[in-house]
Amino acid sequence: METRVIKADPDTREGLELLREAGDVIKAGGLVAVPTETVYGLAGNALDPGSARKIYEAKGRPSDNPLIVHIAKMDDLKVIVQDIPDKALRLADAFWPGPLTMVFHKNPVVPDETTGGLDTVAVRFPTGRIMQLLTEFSGGFIAAPSANRSGRPSCTRAEHCIEDLSGRIDMIIDGGEAGIGLESTVIDMTCDPPVLLRQGYINKSMLESVTGPVKTETGPQEHPRSPGMKYRHYAPKGRLTIVRGEKDSVCRRICELASDSSRLGKKTAILAPSEHLSCYGDHPGIRLIDAGSMDDEDGIAHRLFAILRELDEEDTEEIYCECFDTPRLGSAIMDRLTRASGNRILNV
Ligand code: TXA
Ligand code: MG
């Protein structure tokens, strides 16, 4: 299949026309990669079982891992979900449109294929104008997982989608870099207190300021509420090791590990915040990557997946990384890094 790559500026007539064409592709059962404010999504018609099957196939994703349904107006929520708890309405008021996904009991109109066989459905109302228009033009309900091949870091640029999905889907809409760079926060509203299933830009205390206490699903589980959480995610091809502890010890240990690895002839990289780069000095053969300033956690989140992909392109074999326990996004950033490392954390 030939994948068409388009640039559609929603503020021009031509751009709108292209987005209408993309909407038609989805209506006809095709797949389109599209930018959202979090990461690029792989969009198909959420109410069509055949489209859901195609999404799983294009991504190489296990079919028991449910898809998020995206809407572009609040009124459409009640079409696809059964009951909307008051707390969900309050969260929607506070954070929709935005990077928050809520899980509800589904209506029969949502096919089992879309929800991986679950009787619940995850719903998000994104901010991005391209995504909103595409949703409207394609009939109102878009199923969109992140547009990466299963297991790889999510796509934050159109080039990432081209790399992962070219030849496997109908169209890619190039809308530049995704703003946030981490996937949405996922919260289960079918129970009280609600349960935080995936950390994201809307953090726990922001949620709790609206709903009161929120529980967190902890530790690896055999039957997690969020099936996606049992799969290895965001993984670069090289081996990622997170080193945690007091700054000087972390730096010393990373230097030792990276030097050993480089001496063995392995392509080696160190990922650290701008403030700590000087601790590592300049070692030939070791690539030092600036993750951004600890004072700019948005920047760190925004760059993270692109950095992991860049390391893949360079065939990096060993990556040593500091912790980024920043106040607001630290838990989301460390959640992604921990998964990317397959839980390889060294405490020093
Ligand atoms: O920011 C995002 O959320 C992006 C953009 C494209 O919207 N989408 C995204 O989708 O990250 P995906 O499929 O890569 O991740 C969705 C997560 C998975 O961990 C999945 O298991 C969980 O949400 N999920 C989906 N439906 C669920 C449900 N009914 N119950 C529990 N978890 C669900
Ligand atoms: Mg994903």
Asked whether the predicted pLDDT for residue 218 surpasses 70, the reply is: no
Asked whether the predicted pLDDT for residue 231 surpasses 90, the reply is: no
Minimal-distance CA residue to ligand 1 atom 21: 228
Asked whether the predicted pLDDT for residue 195 surpasses 60, the reply is: yes
Assigned token pair, 105: 């009991």
pLDDT above 90 covers a percentage of the chain that reads: 91
- The bound ligand whose nearest atom lies closest to the alpha carbon of 37 is 1
pLDDT for 124 equals 98
> Among the atoms of ligand 1, which is closest to the Cα of residue 61?
13
Asked whether the predicted pLDDT for residue 230 surpasses 90, the reply is: no
Tell me how far the alpha carbon of residue 78 lies from the centroid of ligand 2, in angstroms: 25
Asked whether the predicted pLDDT for residue 153 surpasses 60, the reply is: yes
Tell me how far the alpha carbon of residue 250 lies from the centroid of ligand 2, in angstroms: 30
Confidence of residue 228 (pLDDT cuts 50, 70, 90): low
pTM summary value: 0.96
Confidence of residue 114 (pLDDT cuts 50, 70, 90): very high
Stretch 236-250: mean pLDDT: 95
pLDDT for 147 equals 98
Asked whether the predicted pLDDT for residue 317 surpasses 80, the reply is: yes
Q: Which residues contact 43 (CB under 8 A, 6 or more apart)?
A: 26, 31, 32, 33, 34, 70, 134, 138, 142, 143, 144
> Among the atoms of ligand 1, which is closest to the Cα of residue 180?
1
Phi, psi angle pair for 284, to nearest 5°: -60, 135
Asked whether the predicted pLDDT for residue 224 surpasses 70, the reply is: no
pLDDT for 220 equals 55
Tell me how far the alpha carbon of residue 267 lies from the centroid of ligand 1, in angstroms: 33
Residue type, 115: T
Q: Is the separation of the CB atoms in 44 and 134 below 8 Å?
A: no
Minimal-distance CA residue to ligand 1 atom 32: 226
DSSP per-residue codes, 168-191: TSSEEE---S-SS-SPPEEEE-SS
Q: Is the separation of the CB atoms in 39 and 126 below 8 Å?
A: no
Q: How far apart are CA 144 and CA 46, in angstroms?
A: 8
| In 119-228, alpha helices (H) | 129-137, 158-165, 204-211
Q: Which residues contact 105 (CB under 8 A, 6 or more apart)?
A: 81, 82, 83, 119, 120, 121, 190
pLDDT in tens, 101-111: 999 999 999 99
pLDDT for 222 equals 56
pLDDT above 70 covers a percentage of the chain that reads: 95
pLDDT in tens, 157-166: 999 999 999 9
Minimal-distance CA residue to ligand 1 atom 13: 145
Confidence of residue 311 (pLDDT cuts 50, 70, 90): very high
pLDDT for 234 equals 77
For residue 216, what is the enclosing H or E element?
Answer: strand 215-216
Stretch 20-45: mean pLDDT: 98
- The bound ligand whose nearest atom lies closest to the alpha carbon of 55 is 1
Confidence of residue 49 (pLDDT cuts 50, 70, 90): very high
Q: Which of 87, 92, 85, 49 is nearest to 67 (CA)?
A: 49
For residue 104, what is the enclosing H or E element?
Answer: strand 100-105
